[in-house]
Amino acid sequence: MEVGPDRSSGHLALEISDLTVIYGPTAAVQGVSFSINEGEIFGLLGPNGAGKTSTLSAIEGLVKPASGSINVDGIDARARPGDARAQIGVQLQSTSFQKELTIRELVRLYSGLYGASRSKSAADEHLAAVHLDEEAGKRFGQLSGGQQKRLALLIATVHDPSLLLLDEPTAGLDPQSRRQLWERIEHMRQIGRSVLLTTHSMEEAQSVCDRVAIIDHGRIVSLDTPAGLIAKHRDDPQVKRVARGEVTLEDVFIGLTGSELRD
């Protein structure tokens, strides 16, 4: 039996049921169901082409599901897409902003678009919170990779969304920048926000995620806490075959999704 969210708070930040997304003849997502509790960090792991980004795109409202339901903070996202999107913050794998604007101007611009305060003082407070106040006059392209990721996460949360969607948030970062971003993500949980992130990093999944779902060929193949996944599958023949010593989350991932390369 899969481990469900802790419902002690009585509130789910996201509930997906039987989600199916089809592109032409291909079913990218097939009957996916999972829930995320308020204040939970939930990881979606899968090889390239497994259905991770299509799932996120359906939640964001970028693609129309063929079937299934999506509820964001109690809002039916298919019936009230605008209201649902207002509760969501999104950080994509690669983010580009208006090149001619400084990062202070970018924060003020997106604050206004999201209906938050666009004052200079508010923007400076936001930048200080992610240690970018000294860079306020720089343009996005002048920032380091880690600084760009921190700014993108800041802009995704400037309207205080209840649910944050992060697509490979730390891809390409050095260890110091990755740890700083993890701390920022964990801060979201501490203030009661919920996070759904995709990642190829097993270390990241174990370090920051409360629960993890492994998706392959558009279907959830297993869902549990990181430790629970290891305990559940450590004796699976396909997992034991790829393990080198004590079974790790990466061994479970490869055992369940295969060792062949995915483009």
Residues 256 and 124: their CA atoms lie apart, in Å, by 46
How far is Cα 198 from Cα 52, in angstroms, rounded to an integer?
A: 7
pLDDT in tens, 11-54: 899 999 999 999 999 999 999 999 999 999 999 999 988 999 99
Q: What is the pLDDT of residue 2?
A: 44
* C-alpha distance from residue 123 to each of 100, 102, 129, 172 (Å): 17, 12, 10, 27
pLDDT over 50 (residue 6) = no
Q: What's the mean pLDDT in 68-90?
A: 94
Q: Which of 190, 230, 229, 200 is nearest to 213 (CA)?
A: 229
Whether 105 has a pLDDT exceeding 90, the answer reads yes
Q: What is the pLDDT of residues 159-197, one digit of tens each?
A: 989 999 999 888 888 888 888 888 888 988 999 999 999
**Report field, pTM of the whole predicted structure over 0.75:** yes
Q: Are 43 and 211 in contact (CB under 8 A)?
A: yes
Arithmetic mean of pLDDT over the chain:
90
The residues, ordered by sequence, that sit 6+ positions from 130 with a Cβ below 8 Å of its Cβ are 150, 151, 153, 154, 184
Name the percent of the chain lying above pLDDT 90.
Answer: 68
Report whether 78 contacts 70 (CB < 8 A). Answer: yes
Spatial contact of 163 and 70, defined as CB atoms under 8 Å apart: no
